Amino acid sequence: MSEEDHAPEAGTLYDQARWTDDGEYEPLLAEKGTSEVEIGDDSPLPDELTRDSLELPDLAEPELARHYTRLSGMNYGVDSGPFPLGSCTMKYNPKFTERAAADPNAAVHPDRSAESVQGTLELRATLQDYLGRIGGMDAVTLQPPAGAAGEFTGIRIAAAYHEENGEDRTEVVIPDSAHGTNFATAAMAGFDVVELPSGEDGRVDIDALEAAVGDDTAALMLTNPNTLGLFERDIEEVADIVHDAGGLLYYDGANLNALLGRARPGDMGFDVMHYNVHKTFATPHGGGGPGAGPVGVTGELAEFLPTPHVREQADGSGYERYEPEQSIGKVHGFAGNWLVLVRAFAYIARLGDEGLADASARAVLNANYLASQIDYEVPYGPFHHEFVASAGEQDAADAAKRMLDYGVHPPTTKWPEIVDEALMTEPTEAETRESLDDLAAAFDAVAGEDDATLEAAPERTAARRIDQVRAAREPRLSWQALDD
Amino acid sequence: MTRETRGSPYAPGDAADTEAMLDAVGADDMEALFDIPEPVRSDGEFGIDARSERDAARLVERTLGRNDDLTEFMGRGHYDHYVPALVDDLASRQEFLTSYTQYQPEVAQGFLQALFEYQSMLVELTGLDVANCSMYDAATALGEAATLSQRVRPVSGDRILVPDHLREGKREVLEAYADGPGLSVEAYPTDEGTVDTEGLADALDDDAAMVYAENPTICGAIEPELDAVGELADEHDALFVLGSDPVALALLERPADVGADVVVGEASALGAGTAYGMGAGLFATREAFLRQVPGRLVGVGEDATDRRAFTLTLQTREQHIRKERATSNICTNQALLALRTAIHAATLGPDGLVTLAEDCVTLARDLAARLDEVPGVRAPVNDRHHFREFQAHTDQPAAAVASDLESEGFAVHVVGEHRVQVCVTDANEPAVDRFVDAVAEVA
């Protein structure tokens, strides 16, 4: 293959840095130089308590600065360009929340006395209150350290609730379009998973739901709008069916960004929900985390929240930690991903009611606008903050690789499976009309290209197409494994 | 209060663009975009005021400013080491900070390589074959180790044995993970802050799927007979899971040499500082268990030009592919903190890391000796070598001592009626003289 054959022609394409050395990209730290330190006679511990030696990279600070700066040049972030990865809500994060999280008063130990960390407890209590209002929930815990940890917390709360009522409910019902975490979470909490097929309109099929729920149903886990970007319009009926069967309704908050100021899970009949504050509010995703997954519940479930919980003291003199009576215990060793929560608080306090509603409206407008501008077929609709296009005859994964050549991060591919060759796209509110037009141009350029071109992509990125099958077949997961 | 805008300043677009875009989608106004039935529509009146950036920043600063400014001598699983400026600087480069999980490896080589290097450093520190690129924290990593032990054990067994002094929060998280698969968490006895091997031998039987120990222990004591723990676990085909952190691992016995099958713990002891318990769980294990490992793994592959390149690998273990048969539900992890740990370790180098670890021993030893001279205080309580922290007996009720110390500007843990725990590292070392004076004042 030749690099020239397929190079896109547009004028302002993103070209990634590519640092090469002797046929490899940027060398590993260990290849730049290591030292082995013997742990010897001058150690403050006797031999039998220590290791013999330690060998690690040994580089001067300027060398490290260059190594990591070069690596950063070989990485794409949302500040680099559009990142319309469906269901991940990769939106721009304001920089002032970074400064807020760096506040020296945020850097306190979790075992400090409540009296000495009133600021931390007040901020936590206020964020609990903000999230409760936004979700229509009566009580909120900030402890779960990620969305999936929030799911685990919520499902454990549902389990504890049924147990308290003397009921042995063994099943969790989940639509086939749901996030994989829902299935994994339910199994991890000890439930059998009942998969619910989607109806022809991409939404919950009421007949299928009625057939699926019963005396064994502990909960239905639902994302609304769902992963096709569709609002579950029959949500009231869905809630009635689940509640009539004695089950609880769990809201997966991954798509809450589409609803701010327009609808609240609590008003739709959800009993328990998680918030992905790193998606809906603010926290740069940091290459895959940390996030935070606060969980909101109705008053009926508040006594099951993890411990410790935080509340204002009855006499209004300050804030305290306490243990809810039927607490499920803990889901994080301490109090969750605190600095992510500080960022979320700062973001909500900045935007307020109008700003949150505006963010949501523009996220929805941008999704619908982009869906209307691309050549790929987009089944279903109208959309909330994401849509799923079909690459049709093309392989969605190959099409995605080609989009990289046009300087944009591609959508999520091949999922949800109910759309053939899915390109699940979420532009978020952060993109301007111009940037959406550029995105649409990239989609359209790729849509018009042949398979050979797609299979040769990407060409303009730091690394060319990586053979992932081989990497999985012969796992080499450390530099030590490369010596073998 | 200044209200700069009625909308979001991070959602750009002027009226003309909005109009044109609404036209393009065939909507009369923004409200028409929302396909939400009337009964479940809400008015969006949360009662949260919008603020200028300056005012929102001040609100955070003012609120957190209500915390007392105390010098902390606290540890027990959450540690403060000085974090070099290089860590903050490099980890806040936007290409790292604002990126996502590396689902498109061709544009994520930088982060993937950094995570591969992090995994490699843990392999060196633990002596085990593979490390993943982070769990939420030490407690959740321990929970994942418990469920792993059940999956890999050739015969069934549902007992998880942990030391009786295990931190309560960690035990509760472990119990949460153990609940679904029907594992039971039970304590074995400890003596002088470390494993009582005879007591452990008595507690063990062939229903034990896993034995957990920590080095250093939650009391700050260094385990003297870890190989015996490993042998006991082996005798009953139980997995030996060891808790530690990258600073301690630089100096203490190599987990692989004492028979550890899994190492879990807090990677955040390097790179994070105190953040109200926010951490990053480390997880390393033997190659035999590779396909049962929870979380993300970065591996080496080749690109179309045959150059070495990095990619997420073995994703068929993960929830987005395997769904209810996944090894774990973890998706978002603590990647940025893993990056910070790696940069911190690289900045120290092997010599700096070993020196830091040795300082953790000498600082604790010296501070214990000085406190032992204070009338009314006996330290350390346990006749062991210590790492970073130790327990001290106080003749006065410990709660009163801790409370009085707060008035003097210091924070310590209360761990018993007459027992406090004190942690010293390079971060609070400059305050040691004042701290000893304060203890002498209040004890």
For B206-239, how does the pLDDT look when each residue is reduced to its tens digit (9 = 90+)? Answer: 999 999 999 999 999 999 999 999 999 999 999 9
Burial of B116 (0-12, 13-18, 19+ CB in 10 A): buried
Percent of chain A with pLDDT over 90: 91
Instruction: Render pLDDT for B140-154 as a digit per residue (tens, 0 to 9).
Output: 999 999 999 999 998
More confident residue, B2 or B367: B367
What stretches of A109-190 show up as alpha helix (H) in DSSP?
A: 118-135, 147-164, 180-188
Interface mutation vs chain A, best among B104, B226, B365, most A CBs within 10 Å: B104
Task: Answer whether residue A320 shows pLDDT above 60.
Answer: yes
Task: Answer whether residue B435 shows pLDDT above 80.
Answer: yes
Closest CA to B132 of B243, B283, B254: B283
| pLDDT (0 to 100) of residue B4 | 42
| pLDDT (0 to 100) of residue A302 | 98
Please report which confidence band the pLDDT of residue A40 belongs to, taking 50, 70 and 90 as the band edges.
confident
Instruction: Render pLDDT for B166-191 as a digit per residue (tens, 0 to 9).
Output: 999 999 999 999 999 999 999 999 99
Closest CA to A212 of A180, A239, A249, A241: A241
Q: Which three-class secondary structure state does DSSP give residue B275?
A: coil
d(CA A293, CA B133): 20
| pLDDT (0 to 100) of residue B156 | 86
Average pLDDT, chain B: 96
Instruction: Render pLDDT for A424-459 as a digit per residue (tens, 0 to 9).
Output: 999 999 999 999 999 999 999 999 999 999 999 999
**Encoding tokens for residue B241?**
């899971």
Please report which confidence band the pLDDT of residue B3 belongs to, taking 50, 70 and 90 as the band edges.
very low
Task: Answer whether residue B63 shows pLDDT above 70.
Answer: yes
Closest CA to B73 of B407, B389, B328: B389
User: Which of A355, A366, A412 lies nearest to residue B50, judging by beta carbons?
Assistant: A355
Closest CA to A429 of B164, B370, B18, B128: B18
**What burial letters (b/e) apply to A236-274, b meaning 16+ CB within 10 Å?**
eebbebbeebbbbbbbbbbbbbbbbbbbbbbebbbbbbb
Rounded to a whole number, what is the distance in Å from the CA of A266 to chain B's nearest CA?
A: 9
| pLDDT (0 to 100) of residue A20 | 85
Closest CA to B282 of B240, B343, B323, B241: B241
Instruction: Render pLDDT for B246-264 as a digit per residue (tens, 0 to 9).
Output: 999 999 999 999 999 999 9
**Encoding tokens for residue B359?**
């300082």
Instruction: Render pLDDT for A283-312 as a digit per residue (tens, 0 to 9).
Output: 899 999 999 999 999 999 999 999 999 999
Please report which confidence band the pLDDT of residue A244 belongs to, taking 50, 70 and 90 as the band edges.
very high
d(CA A251, CA A253): 6
| pLDDT (0 to 100) of residue A9 | 64
Which residues does chain A have within 8 Å of residue B336's beta carbon, measured at their own beta carbons? 286-290
Task: Answer whether residue B361 shows pLDDT above 50.
Answer: yes
Q: Which amino acid is at A144?
A: P
Phi/psi at B21 (nearest 5 deg)?
A: -70, -40
Instruction: Render pLDDT for B84-94 as a digit per residue (tens, 0 to 9).
Output: 999 999 999 99
**Given an 8 Å threshold on Cβ–Cβ distance, is A96 in contact with B65?**
no
Task: Answer whether residue B115 shows pLDDT above 80.
Answer: yes
**Given an 8 Å threshold on Cβ–Cβ distance, is B46 in contact with A69?**
no
Please report which confidence band the pLDDT of residue A210 belongs to, taking 50, 70 and 90 as the band edges.
very high
| pLDDT (0 to 100) of residue B100 | 97
User: Which of B115, B326, B350 lies nearest to residue A54, judging by beta carbons?
Assistant: B350
Residue B419: which residues within 8 A CB-CB, separation 6 or more? B381, B391, B392, B393, B394, B398
Instruction: Render pLDDT for A18-38 as a digit per residue (tens, 0 to 9).
Output: 888 777 899 999 999 999 999
**Given an 8 Å threshold on Cβ–Cβ distance, is B329 in contact with A185?**
yes
Closest CA to B60 of A292, A105, A27, A313: A105
**Encoding tokens for residue A117?**
């960390």
Percent of chain B with pLDDT over 90: 95
Helical axes A338-373 vs B53-64, angle rounded to 10°: 150
Q: Which amino acid is at B419?
A: R
Contact A113, B414 (CB under 8 A): no
Neighbours of A200 (CB within 10 A): 7
| pLDDT (0 to 100) of residue B267 | 98
Q: Which three-class secondary structure state does DSSP give residue A57?
A: strand
Instruction: Render pLDDT for A327-336 as a digit per residue (tens, 0 to 9).
Output: 999 999 999 9
Please report which confidence band the pLDDT of residue A484 belongs to, taking 50, 70 and 90 as the band edges.
low
Task: Answer whether residue B395 shows pLDDT above 90.
Answer: yes
Which residues does chain B have within 8 Å of residue A429's beta carbon, measured at their own beta carbons? 8, 10-11
d(CA B65, CA A449): 58
**Encoding tokens for residue B233?**
């676990």
Contact A177, A198 (CB under 8 A): yes
More confident residue, A10 or B283: B283
Average pLDDT, chain A: 94
B255 preceded by a cis bond (ω within 30 of 0): no
Angle, CA A273 vertex, CA A296 and CA A92 arms, to 5°: 95
Q: Which amino acid is at B312?
A: L
Please report which confidence band the pLDDT of residue A317 belongs to, taking 50, 70 and 90 as the band edges.
very high
A225 preceded by a cis bond (ω within 30 of 0): yes
Please report which confidence band the pLDDT of residue A360 belongs to, taking 50, 70 and 90 as the band edges.
very high
Instruction: Render pLDDT for A91-109 as a digit per residue (tens, 0 to 9).
Output: 999 999 999 999 999 999 9
d(CA B101, CA B103): 6
| pLDDT (0 to 100) of residue A10 | 56
Rounded to a whole number, what is the distance in Å from the CA of B392 to chain A's nearest CA?
A: 17
Contact A430, A78 (CB under 8 A): yes
B292 touches chain A (CB under 8 A): no
Give the A:B interface size as CB pairs under 8 Å. Answer: 653
> Which residues 170-209 of chain B have a CB within 8 Å of chain A?
170, 172-173, 175-177, 179-182
Contact B237, B154 (CB under 8 A): yes
Please report which confidence band the pLDDT of residue A139 belongs to, taking 50, 70 and 90 as the band edges.
very high
Contact B198, B165 (CB under 8 A): no
A416 preceded by a cis bond (ω within 30 of 0): yes
Rounded to a whole number, what is the distance in Å from the CA of B186 to chain A's nearest CA?
A: 16
| pLDDT (0 to 100) of residue B154 | 83
Largest CA distance in chain A: 75
Which residues does chain B have within 8 Å of residue A193's beta carbon, measured at their own beta carbons? 323-324
DSSP β-ladder status, B410-411 and B389-394? unpaired
Which residues does chain B have within 8 Å of residue A354's beta carbon, measured at their own beta carbons? 5-7, 50
pTM (2 d.p.): 0.97
Please report which confidence band the pLDDT of residue B385 belongs to, taking 50, 70 and 90 as the band edges.
very high
Please report which confidence band the pLDDT of residue B2 belongs to, taking 50, 70 and 90 as the band edges.
very low
d(CA A250, CA B112): 34
Contact B85, B31 (CB under 8 A): no
d(CA A362, CA A366): 6
Please report which confidence band the pLDDT of residue A5 belongs to, taking 50, 70 and 90 as the band edges.
low
> Which residues 378-437 of chain B have a CB within 8 Å of chain A?
385, 402-403, 406, 411, 413
Rounded to a whole number, what is the distance in Å from the CA of B405 to chain A's nearest CA?
A: 12
Angle, CA A98 vertex, CA A94 and CA A100 arms, to 5°: 110
Q: What is the mean pLDDT of residues B96-105?
A: 97
Alpha-carbon separation of residue A445 from A400, A420, B357 (angstroms): 12, 20, 56
| pLDDT (0 to 100) of residue A11 | 53
| ipTM score assigned to the predicted complex | 0.97
| pLDDT (0 to 100) of residue A15 | 81
**Encoding tokens for residue A376?**
């790929």
Q: Which amino acid is at B260?
A: A
Instruction: Render pLDDT for B306-344 as a digit per residue (tens, 0 to 9).
Output: 999 999 999 989 998 899 999 999 999 999 999 999 999
Q: What CA dihedral angle connects A212, A216, A218 and A222, to 10 degrees? A: -10
